[in-house]
Amino acid sequence: MVRVGIVGVGFMGMVHYLTYQKLNGVEVTAICSRTEKRRQGDWRGIQGNFGPPGTAMDLSGITTYESINEMLQDPKVDVIDITLPPALHAEIAIRALKAGKHVFCEKPISLQLRESEEMIAAAKGSGKQLTIGHVLPFFPEYIWAREAIDSGRYGRLLGGTFRRVISDPAWLSDYWNAERIGGPMLDLHVHDAHFIRAMFGMPDQVTTSGRMRGDLAEYWTSQFQFADRSLAVTANSGVIRQQGRSFLHGFEIHLEQATLTFEFSVLAQEGKYTCAPVLIGPGDKVSFPELGNGDPMLAFEAELQEVVTGIRSGTPAPLLEAELARDAVLLCHKQTESLREGKSVRIG
CATH assignment of the domain containing 38: 3.40.50.720
Assess whether 7 and 117 both reside in one domain.
yes
Burial bucket for residue 214 (CB in 10 Å: 0-12, 13-18, 19+): exposed
DSSP character string of 278-321: EEE-STT-EE--------HHHHHHHHHHHHHHHHHHT---GGGB
Q: Containing domain of residue 206, as a range?
A: 136-294+328-346
Structural domain count, the chain: 2
pLDDT value at 125 more than 90: yes
Assess whether 73 and 140 both reside in one domain.
no
Assess whether 19 and 96 both reside in one domain.
yes
Assess whether 79 and 223 both reside in one domain.
no
Contact 182, 111 (CB under 8 A): yes
Distance of CA 42 to CAs 10, 60, 132, Å? 11, 13, 28
Assess whether 62 and 107 both reside in one domain.
yes
Range in 18-27, 169-178, 306-315 with the lowest mean pLDDT: 169-178
Burial bucket for residue 323 (CB in 10 Å: 0-12, 13-18, 19+): middle
Q: Where residue 203 sits, what CATH number does that domain have?
A: 3.30.360.10
pLDDT band at 173 (very low <50, low <70, confident <90, very high): confident
Q: Is residue 276 part of a domain?
A: yes
pTM exceeds cut of 0.85: yes
Assess whether 159 and 238 both reside in one domain.
yes
Q: Give the closest residue to 107 by CA, choosing from 9, 185, 191.
A: 191
Assess whether 193 and 106 both reside in one domain.
no
pLDDT value at 49 more than 70: no
pLDDT value at 51 more than 90: no
At residue 42, the pLDDT reads 86
DSSP character string of 163-204: EEEEE--TT-TTTT-TTTT-HHIIIIIHHHHHHHHHHH---S
Assess whether 200 and 237 both reside in one domain.
yes
> What average pLDDT does the segment 223-237 reach?
98
Q: Is residue 151 part of a domain?
A: yes
> What average pLDDT does the segment 45-64 reach?
83
Q: Is residue 321 part of a domain?
A: no
pLDDT for 67-117, tens place per residue?
Answer: 999 999 999 999 999 999 999 999 999 999 999 999 999 999 999 999 999
Assess whether 170 and 100 both reside in one domain.
no
Q: Give the closest residue to 201 by CA, choosing from 237, 227, 220, 229.
A: 227
At residue 172, the pLDDT reads 79
CA angle 202/203/208 to nearest 5° reads: 135
At residue 54, the pLDDT reads 81
Q: Is residue 323 part of a domain?
A: no
| C-alpha dihedral, 201 to 223 to 329 to 337, nearest 10° | 140
Peptide bond into 108 cis (omega under 30): yes
Assess whether 106 and 192 both reside in one domain.
no
Assess whether 102 and 152 both reside in one domain.
no
pLDDT for 132-165, tens place per residue?
Answer: 999 999 999 999 999 999 999 999 999 999 999 9
pLDDT averaged over the chain? Answer: 95
Assess whether 277 and 162 both reside in one domain.
yes
At residue 264, the pLDDT reads 95
